[in-house]
Chains A and B, each alone.
Chain A
Amino acid sequence: MTGISRRDMGRLALAAAAAVPATARAQTAPSGPPIRIGYSMSLSGGLAPNGRPALTAHKIWAEDVNAKGGLLGRPVELVNYDDQSSGAQVPGIYTKLIDVDKVDLVVSGYATAIIAPAMPVVMQRNMCFVSLFGTGVNTDFKYDRYFSVNCTGSQVKETFAKGFMDIAMSMDPRPRTIALVNLDSDFHQRTAESARFLAKERGLRVVYDRAYPPSTVDFGPIMRAVAAARPDIVFAGSYPPDTAGLLRAASEQRVNFQMMGGPMIGPHATAQKLQLGPILNNLVVWDVYAPEPTLQFPGTKELIDRYQPIAARENTDALGYYVPPMAYAQMQVLEQAVRRVGKIDQAALAADMHANQFDTVIGPLRFDAMGEWTEERNLYTQYQGVQGNGIEQFKRTGTQVVLYPARYKSGELRKPFTAGA
């Protein structure tokens, strides 16, 4: 037996260096026809500020899955079309996705207005449907292959405003009166109904209860009428332009409520956080995620860290705390079900989704018979100590503390709400 020379050692090392990654690549690289996932997404129109971050999160998920060997050994491919934020476009898009593009799986685009029009088409084809930010969509359809990635749960009326009311009723002195003001939209009508129901249950007197149309420009008269009713607390439901209008009006009129907030969608987007700055202080806002230590799950930070540079390039929401974690979780639900089932079988996937827990970047979740979360997780958060309009403060813990639910609580309520005064 001859010894191995230094030259032979060098050759062996070189061969090993070349061979090992090749072997590893052979084990992890996905192959075969892609698993195609189809959906509509609002890339233009009023829902685009949330649709585009959702798509970015989906792309990050697809990259992650393909980098880890794909799904069932096959690469995943996203097939999506811009629905222009119009529900009227949605049935046609899903018909094309399923009948022409022959996608293997479908998920929803962003929000109730886009999810509901897709339902009849998806139901006709008996496909599993994992939705994103839908509220009460399946109440009427009762489709057993529908699964909602939204924290509201199936008992919206009984639970949506529960966190807000629990926080309010824990104040000393306890509030006696409440004002309800909301946008005339499906989501906000449901949330106002919950607040109305729970206010009555807790003995709160409703001193103002009115909706405003989407075309409202000046919110001064609304806020003035609310303040004139002298409520202790205000439950408001609004979309971004209205939220800015309501809070600006509140600031100009130097309101002083023991507590104000609710599903005021707006500060969820970075642009509005920066615009409103200190006006947000002490506002109690319904949310789905906040960068607090109590809401860190496996993969959450990594997702945000990867999302933010892409968002800066693509001019989408800079921080990405609202939609991206949920959108990523939407795909994780699909991914985990497919891995467990081991094939693309819509009935088996639905059965798996009903039976098992999913570990996602927004935490563990399970679905009930209606496809909603078995346990609602409406977060009520409060902005605290906001100074100026810098973005960095919103990345720090303690700026948007979680007040409800108790298991994720990260701070104490501050009162009153004075809109920055």
Chain B
Amino acid sequence: MDPDLVLLLNGIVSGLLLGGLYAAAAAGLSVSFGMLDVVNIAHPAFMVLGAILVALLWGATGIDPLILSILLTPAFWALGAALYVAYHHFFERRGDEAIQGLAFFFGIMFIIEVGLVLTVGPDQHFADASYANTTWRMGEVDLPLRMLVPALVALSAIAGLSVFLRRTFIGRAIAAVAQDREALRLLAINPTRIKRLAFGISIAFAALAGGALVVVQPVDAWSGHVFIGRVFAIVIMGGLSSLGGCVLAALAFGVVENVTATFYGPSWSPAVAFGCLLLVLAIRPQGLFGRAA
């Protein structure tokens, strides 16, 4: 096979796998930022918190990192719900959520990072999944399980969340709160309670994303920084409250980054990927799957 074609195929496939990781990182934010209008800039920090907890638990138990991250989701849901209660009480209730709420989540991010350094140290933490050193080969195309398994787990979880949001009463209430919270009251549903539940789900997804991240690469307290720009860009590109759009945008981001890195050098990757974001927004300001206002 033509060497350039091999490079292209591998660039696309590895980009899709990378996109799976991005989707895991962005799905929770799609709920909090896209649906609840909560600018949780600390979302990647929660992901790193999940990753480091998974690494520590893996060191103690040897259980698969992705299973550990699933086991962590109830605790992260509770953490997210508690955080939303504080956020709602001090900011949202008073209508101060714009700038002061943003500052609140900045503060949370720094507290998580410094707290991690003080408790587990600044070094990198890792968890070696049993499959991490295995690569499947389909002809000339490589499928490293280190990337493939987290991507599949993440996409399955997102599919499950999507079904939950579409098919259940609470799920539809979460979707509704994004559009008209007052209408919910007419149905005797407390929008604050729904938002608390939904914010908990978004943080629980951060734990899942953390499990995926620590399988892919070692993490330290600041590993979330490289994801902040990407996950917000992906959520916006996907169309804010659209989970499907979020996944598609994440996969597109991954493919554009990796194909660019392969052929034009990795320095161009972020520029081309964010350039695509600008292009999408220029053509469809509401994002790929967003509804026009």
Residues of A within 8 A of B (CB): 43-46, 48-49, 51-52, 184, 210-218, 220-222, 224-225, 228, 240-241, 244-245, 248, 251-254, 269-272, 275, 314-317, 389
| Majority SS at the chain B contact face | helix
Q: Say yes or no: A275 contacts B218, CB within 8 Å.
A: yes
Q: Say yes or no: B124 contacts A218, CB within 8 Å.
A: no
Q: Mark B257-279, 1 if CB is under 8 A from A, else 0.
A: 11101110111011000000000
Q: Say yes or no: A216 contacts B269, CB within 8 Å.
A: yes
Chosen A-B contacts, 24 in total, with CB atoms closer than 8 Å, are: A44-B221, A45-B222, A49-B122, A213-B266, A213-B267, A217-B217, A218-B15, A218-B17, A218-B18, A218-B254, A220-B142, A220-B147, A225-B7, A225-B262, A228-B6, A240-B218, A241-B124, A248-B146, A251-B133, A252-B135, A252-B142, A253-B135, A315-B123, A316-B123
Chain A residues with Cβ under 8 A from B11's Cβ? Answer: 221, 224
Chain A residues with Cβ under 8 A from B221's Cβ? Answer: 44
Chain B residues with Cβ under 8 A from A225's Cβ? Answer: 7, 261-263
Given A44-B114, A212-B261, A271 and B266 touching (CB < 8 A)?
Answer: no
Q: Name B124's contact: one of A184, A240, A389 (CB within 8 Å).
A: A240
Chain A CB within 8 A of B144 CB: yes
Least distance between A297 CB and chain B CB atoms (Å): 27
Q: Name B262's contact: one of A44, A52, A224, A275 (CB within 8 Å).
A: A224
Q: In the complex, which residue of chain A has the Cβ closest to the Cβ of B119?
A: A315
Q: Say yes or no: B123 contacts A49, CB within 8 Å.
A: yes
Q: Say yes or no: A215 contacts B226, CB within 8 Å.
A: yes
Chain A residues with Cβ under 8 A from B75's Cβ? Answer: none
Q: Mark B99-134, 1 if CB is under 8 A from A, else 0.
A: 000000000000001100100111111101000010
Least distance between A28 CB and chain B CB atoms (Å): 35
Name 14 extra pairs, CB < 8 A, besides A49-B121, A228-B3, A315-B120: A43-B122, A44-B122, A217-B226, A218-B147, A220-B14, A220-B144, A221-B261, A240-B218, A254-B135, A271-B123, A271-B124, A271-B125, A316-B123, A317-B123
Q: Say yes or no: B218 contacts A228, CB within 8 Å.
A: no
Q: Say yes or no: A217 contacts B123, CB within 8 Å.
A: no
Q: Say yes or no: B133 contacts A272, CB within 8 Å.
A: no
Chain B residues with Cβ under 8 A from A211's Cβ? Answer: 265-267
Q: Say yes or no: B133 contacts A52, CB within 8 Å.
A: no
Q: Mark B1-40, 1 if CB is under 8 A from A, else 0.
A: 0010011001100110110010000000000000000000
Q: Say yes or no: A218 contacts B257, CB within 8 Å.
A: yes
Least distance between B196 CB and chain A CB atoms (Å): 32
Q: B11, B21, B122, B262: which has the most chain A beta carbons within 10 Å?
A: B122
Q: Say yes or no: A44 contacts B123, CB within 8 Å.
A: no
Q: Say yes or no: A222 contacts B267, CB within 8 Å.
A: no
Q: Say yes or no: B218 contacts A212, CB within 8 Å.
A: no
Chain A CB within 8 A of B223 CB: yes
Q: In the complex, which residue of chain A has the Cβ closest to the Cβ of B271?
A: A213
Given A225-B262, A252-B142, A212 and B14 touching (CB < 8 A)?
Answer: no
Q: Mark B229-251, 1 if CB is under 8 A from A, else 0.
A: 10000000000000000000000
Least distance between B163 CB and chain A CB atoms (Å): 28
Given A212-B266, A212-B267, A217 and B18 touching (CB < 8 A)?
Answer: yes
CA A389 – CA B132 in complex, angstroms?
Answer: 14
Chain A residues with Cβ under 8 A from B142's Cβ? Answer: 220, 252-253
